[in-house]
Structures are given as C-alpha cells and as structure tokens.
Chains A and B, each alone.
Chain A
Amino acid sequence: MSQAVQAAPAPPGSVDDRVRRRSLLASVLSRPEVGSLVGAVAVFALFFAVAPTFRQAASFATVLYAGSTIGIMALAVALLMIGGEFDLSAGVAVTTSALFASTFAYQLNLNLWVGVAAALVVSLGIGAFNGWLLMRTGLPSFLITLGTFFILQGVNLGVTKLLTGNVSSTSVSDMDGFEQARAVFASTVPIGGVSVKITVFWWLLFVAIGTWVLLRTKTGNWIFAAGGDKAAARAVGVPVRATKIGLFMTVGFMAWFVGMHQLFSFNAIQSGGGVGQEFIYIIAAVVGGCLLTGGYGSAVGSAIGALIFGMTSLGIVYAGWDANWFKAFLGVMLLLATIVNMIVKNQAAKR
C-alpha cells in the first residue's frame, strides 16, 4: 500500500504500475495442456527406462494406434466439456453406430457404404437428440446422457439379439464395399518399415482441425463462452443453443468414425461393447487440461491425454507387469494430472 502511495501519479492511459506484464514463461504455463505434457514426458521416460520393448519403433506405432482410437473420441468429448457439458453415452454410441451400419446393410442386403452413411445419420441424430433434450429441459447433461447411455446399451443388446439371435453382429467381411471402407477406416500405412494404422493420421487431422476451430474461429469462441458463462454468452448474442447441440453432434460424428473403424477392423461387433469407455474419454480430456466446470481446455490436451493412456496401457504390458494394475495406474494419473493442472493454472494466474 505504501509503495502505491509513493509511486509518482501515472499519466492517464499509462500502464498500471501495480501489475507487470506477464513473462513468456507464465504465458506458456497458462496453456491448458502444459500439465499433461509434463505428465506425458514422465510416463514416456518411465516406460522407456523399464521396458526395452517400449523403445522399438513398432511399439511406438502401436502406442499411437491405442492413443488414436481413444483420442478421436476424447477430442470430441473435450470440445463438449469446454462447451460445459458431458456425454456419458459416448462409449456405447460408438458400438451403436457400428452395429447399425453392419445390421442395416446386412439385413437389407445393401452395399456397406449405404450402411456407413445411414449410421452417420443415426449417430448425428443421437447427438442432436442429446443436445436438443438438454436445451429443451435445462436438466444437467450428466442425467440426460446417462439416460441415453442406458437406452443405447439396451437397444444394442436387444436389437442384435432379436435379429441375429446372437450377442454379436454378423461378419461383414464378404459384403460389397468392405475393402474400400476398410481402406478408409481401418487400413495400415507403412512408414519406414513400420506399419502405422490409418486412424493415427485421422486423429492428427481431427486434432489439427479441432485446434483451428477452437482458437481461430467464431465457433471456437462461442464454445469457450457457452461453457464459461452461458448467460453472459447469450446476453452478447452467442447462439448457445446451436453451439451446444453442434458439440453433441460432433461427439456423434466421432462416435460414428470410431464405430466404423471398429467395424472394418474386426468385421463383427460385440453388442455389449463400449460400456465404460465414456470415462476413458473424459479422463483423457481432463488429463489434457479440460476443466470439469467448462470454459477451459484444449484439443491438443485431449490428444496428449489419450497418448498418456496409450503409453500406459501398452507400457505396462511391455514392462512385463500384471496388466490388472492398469486401472489403478489410470486413477493415479488422473488425480496427479488434475492436481498438477490446478497448481499450474493458479500459479500462472498469479503472475
């Protein structure tokens, strides 16, 4: 206080001498994904040290693949969380999409691409339904998507049982369009002697687009605003309703994409699959710096979160540890990451 009194009166328009410009370091540290980056380096170093297999390029391609199937969904879930909402139906929605594509094409004896297109419509529809119901009722998205989670889970099992008398869909590997669809959704690209799954490239592309949208477009601004303060956003003319419904539809789109990948890499789909995956996506997003309360987070962060997930799940195997420890490790990662994120964010805000 005494310093403020002693200071010469500042001319109008000049910088307030009580606040200094933030240093570059502080600006970097205030990025949402910094905490997860530190975590990713630590996990990488750990398994690099203890698991010789982990050091091979082929293993790293496998890690990237594991990261990509989680990461594509985690990206959409992260965008949704930045927009202030949850989607608990994201895990089973993947299975629903895959089941629908294969069952639709098989039962009506159509080209698989028709099934793929129809599944896209269904997935976008599920997302739109979640979003519409949320905006219509004003209930928490946690409850609404918990409802759709159970509905989809039941429908997946019930309809598959009804049509095939089985718990999995019929194999689609001999149907028209399978090879082309497989090339798009589930092929392998050789790079320097290492086989890399095509989902890795799709993942990178989606994350790049996600980052671009989030940081450099109007829509991105609206996503942050809708999640940060819905009422404030609405008051300045941001179409909050459309933004949120769009985010749920983005989750639908990614669920469709991952569903198609599963369908064309495994040929048949287990109707009970996907349960519990929604939490993995949320964990990846949170580890990547998304706040549970919305309005803060990044697309790159979700990718780093998914990469940590991939490194951990395979690293444990490569290190020869009992894979049953994986879930415990995941929980510790989640807690550490959120604590680190919180500390880093508070420190950066002070500077």
Chain B
Amino acid sequence: MSTPELDAGAGHSPNQEILRLEDVGKSYGNVHALRGVSLSVRQGEITCVLGDNGAGKSTLIKIIAGLHQHTEGRFTVNGEAVRFGSPREALDRGIATVYQDLALVPLMSIWRNFFLGSELTRGSGPLRRLDVERMKRVTEEELVKMGISVPDLDRHVGALSGGQRQCIAIARAIHFGAKALVLDEPTAALGVKQSGVVLKYIAKARDAGLGVVFITHNPHHAHLVGNHFVILNRGRVSLDAGRGDVSLDRLTNEMAGGAELEALSHELSRPGSTPEPAAAGRTTTEN
C-alpha cells in the first residue's frame, strides 16, 4: 500500500515536539464540539487527524489556527501555553494553516497570492513600494523547489487546477517559516493523480523539518504518509496510535465508526430482501 518514497519511519521519535494539545475542548453555548482532545505534533513528523463529517475536525483546526479559542484544556506551542486571538498570532508562532478553500484569492496572480499579507517592499516613506521583481523571483524559486511548474506567475490563481493551488498554498506556508503546517483536507476535492502529487508535497514538507497536521477523512491517504493517527468521533478521540500500532484496515474500520459500522453492515445485509422502490422500478423497466 505505502510506497517507500512516502514512508516515514515509525514509532516514538526523539524529534522535538512543536504543538501539544492536552484535554482540549470547545463548546459553543451548550454544544460541545470538541471534548478532551489530546495530540502532539513533532518536528519532521506527520500527525493525521481523521474523522467523519461533524467529528470536530474543523473546530480543532480553528483552535490551532487561531480562528477560535478553546474553552477547556491546555494548548502549548514549544512548551508555552497559548490562546490565540487571531490567525496572525498563530502565524507569528510559526503555525501555518492551509485551508480546504486554500486562502488563495482567485482573481489575483500567483506571485501576489504567494506573498499576500507578507509582501516584500523596498524604498521608504511614501515611496515604499512592492518589490515585484524579488517577489516574482522568490515565488518561482520556491515553486521549482517543490517541483511545481506553473506556466506564468502573472496568471490568476483561479485559472489553475485544484492540485496546483494546493501546492502553491503549501509552498507558501513553508517559505514563510512555518514550523507547523496544518492541512485541512488537502486531498478532498482532488482526483487520484492530483492527490498523489499533493501527498508528495506533504512528505516534502515533512522532510523539510516541519511538523504536519494532516486532516482528512481518507484513511488511505493518511496511512500513506502519517507517523501518528488520531481519530475523532463526535468531538472525542476514539483512536490514538502510532504508525507501528495500527494497520490500514484497522484505521479504515475505526474511521468508519468501528462498532457503528458493524451494526450498519448487519442491518444492510439481510439476505433476500430487496428494497421496495428498487424492486418496483425493475418490474416496470422489464415490462
């Protein structure tokens, strides 16, 4: 299943811990979106967070990215307890988040998007202006380093494919000195080939020494690159295992809700009974 190229070295590594969540919870009014979640992200490792829709993945990302604040537990970055008031604060701590919608502005060119919010300038006072040449050059260098080829840096991001956009967002996060990279379902909207390309970049980010949080609901993708797996179910952690302790089958099974899936398979596998509407439909077509 896993190719050697993408494989990561398993087990508990001595790598430095970047992010750590201890019993973190978040409630919106009396709805507990997240309860008692603990996980850690280490340098040069990929921590996969899996879960079905509504499992609390988005809430978890928002807490790490600084869009929301946790209401319970402890969140530490490099050993220091934090509570982010804005995404900027998270960025300043070296946590870059690449959202599902990528945070790229479709009608802006590639190089403008690459440096958006962190533009390079030259000159001073009223003559302080964008250093267009340098920004274009750096963008090109960074994209080439990641093995991404784009036809024209002046092209609008909206004209690129989903995979290309994902890679630009990842390259940007790495360039801006991210120590931890949070990826929100980067492969969700992509085809098989493009997903492969994006997974390669995730592995590259890991090899570059970043701690990666890879959020997905695809256990196959997670198992290809992950060092550590955390499965969320209804706002709680239902599995927390290292690479060596969990097989893809177990991961898939757990991800689908384990016991719930068993019950469901039991319910669906009543031999001989065909659902009514389908049966009716077949009769009419045969006539």
Chain A residues at the B interface, C-beta cutoff of 8 Å: 10, 12-16, 19-22, 27, 212, 216-218, 220-222, 224-225, 228-229, 231-238, 291, 295-296, 349
* CB closest chain-A residue, reference B119: A218
Residue interface bits B239-263, CB-to-A below 8 A is 1, else 0: 0000000000000000000000000
Distance to closest chain A CB from B79 (angstroms): 24
B55 lies within 8 A of chain A by Cβ: no
> Once the chains bind, are A295 and B101 in contact (CB under 8 Å)?
no
Known contacts A216-B130, A236-B103, A296-B107: A13-B144 contact under CB 8 Å: yes
Task: Give the docked Cα–Cα distance between A317 and B158 (Å).
Answer: 44
Number of residue pairs A-B, CB distance < 8 angstroms: 94
User: Contact partner of B107 among A12, A13, A20, A295, CB < 8 A?
Assistant: A295
Prevailing SS type, chain B contact patch: loop
Q: Mask for B122-158, Cβ within 8 A of A = 1, else 0?
A: 0000001110100000000000100101011011101
| Chain B nearest Cβ from A202, distance in angstroms | 18
CB neighbours (8 Å) of A216 from chain B are: 129-130, 132
Residues on the B chain within 8 Å of A234, using CB:
87
Q: Which residues of B contact A218 (CB under 8 A)?
A: 119, 121, 130
**Complex-state Cα separation, A15 to B164, whole angstroms:** 13
Min C-beta distance of A157 to chain B, whole Å: 40
How long is the Cα–Cα vector from A234 to B108 in the complex, in angstroms? Answer: 15
Given A216-B129, A224-B112, A238-B116: A233 and B152 interface contact (C-beta under 8 Å)? no
Q: Find out whether the CB atom of A224 lies under 8 angstroms from the CB atom of B105.
A: yes
Asked if B167 lies at the interface with its beta carbon under 8 angstroms from chain A, I say: no
- Minimum CB–CB distance for A334 against chain B, Å: 21
- Given A22-B152, A217-B129, A349:B112 Cβ within 8 A: no
Find chain B residues with CB under 8 A from A220 CB: 130
> A228 — nearest CB in chain B belongs to which residue?
B105
Q: How far is the CB of A118 from chain B (nearest CB, A)?
A: 26
Is the pair B91, A228 in contact by a Cβ cutoff of 8 Å?
A: no
CA distance A349 to B159 in the complex (A): 7
Supposing A216-B129, A218-B130 touch, asked if A13 and B151 sit within 8 A by C-beta, the answer is no
Given pairs A22-B152, A218-B130, A231-B103, 7 additional interface contacts (CB within 8 A): A22-B154, A220-B130, A232-B99, A235-B99, A236-B87, A237-B117, A295-B108
Would A22 and B155 be within 8 Å (CB), given that A16-B149, A221-B130, A235-B99 are in contact? yes
Q: Provide a sorted-by-A list of 6 A–B residue pairs whose CB atoms are within 8 angstroms.
A: A20-B151, A221-B112, A224-B107, A232-B103, A233-B117, A237-B87
In the complex, are the beta carbons of A232 and B144 less than 8 A apart?
Answer: no
Residues in B with CB closer than 8 Å to A231 are 101, 103
Nearest-neighbour CB distance to chain B for A300, whole angstroms, equals 17
Instruction: Check B151 against A15 for contact (C-beta < 8 Å).
Output: yes
Partner pick for B152 among A21, A212, A236, A238, CB 8 A cutoff: A21
A13 to chain B, nearest CB (A): 5
Task: With CB as the reference atom, state the residue of chain B lying closest to A19.
Answer: B151
Give the number of chain B interface residues (Cβ < 8 Å): 36
Q: How far is the CB of B236 from chain A (nearest CB, A)?
A: 27
Contacts of B121 in A (CB 8 A): 217-218
Interface residues of B in 90-126 (CB under 8 A from A): 91, 97, 99, 101-108, 112, 115-119, 121
**CB neighbours of A21 from chain B (8 A):** 151-152
Which of B116, B128, B158 lies in contact with A236, CB distance below 8 A? Answer: B116
Report the Cα distance A30→B117, complex, angstroms: 24
Q: What A residues does B99 contact at CB under 8 A? A: 232, 235
A336 CB → nearest B CB, Å: 23
Report the Cα distance A13→B150, complex, angstroms.
9
Residues of B within 8 Å of A20, CB to CB, are 151
Whether the Cβ atoms of A221 and B147 lie closer than 8 Å is no
Question: Contact at A237–B91, with CB atoms within 8 Å?
Answer: yes
Which of chain A's residues has its CB closest to B144's CB?
A13
Bound CA–CA A233/B105 (angstroms): 7
The reply to whether A233 and B156 contact each other, CB–CB distance below 8 Å, is no
* B116–A221 CB distance below 8 A: yes
Partner of A217, one of B106, B117, B130: B130
Shortest B162–chain A CB gap in Å is 15
Would B151 and A22 count as touching, CB distance under 8 A?
Answer: yes
CB distance from B203 to the nearest CB of A (A): 15
In the A-B complex, the 7 residue pairs with the closest CB atoms: A236-B117, A228-B105, A237-B117, A235-B103, A232-B103, A19-B151, A295-B107
Whole-angstrom distance from the CB of A230 to the nearest CB of chain B? 9
Is B221's beta carbon under 8 Å from chain A?
no
Which residues from A are CB-within-8-Å of B83?
none
Task: Name the residue of chain B whose CB is nearest to the CB of A10.
Answer: B149
Complex Cα–Cα for A224 and B115 (A): 13
Q: Given the complex, which residues of B lie within 8 Å of A233, measured CB to CB?
A: 105, 116-117
User: Which chain B residue has the least Cβ–Cβ distance from A209?
Assistant: B126
Interchain nearest-CB distance for A63 vs B (Å)? 32
Alpha-carbon distance A225/B109, docked complex (angstroms):
11
Contacts of A238 in B (CB 8 A): 116-117
Most buried by B among A212, A218, A296: A218
Interface contact B149-A14, CB-CB below 8 Å? yes
Do residues A16 and B108 form an inter-chain contact, with CB atoms below 8 A?
no
Among residues of A, the one whose C-beta sits closest to the C-beta of B97 is A235
Question: Which residues on the A side are within 8 Å of B87 (C-beta)?
Answer: 234-237
Instruction: For A15, list chain B residues within 8 Å (CB).
Output: 149, 151
Bound form: Cα–Cα A7–B141 in Å: 26
**Given the complex of chains A and B, what is the CA–CA distance between A216 and B101 in angstroms?**
27
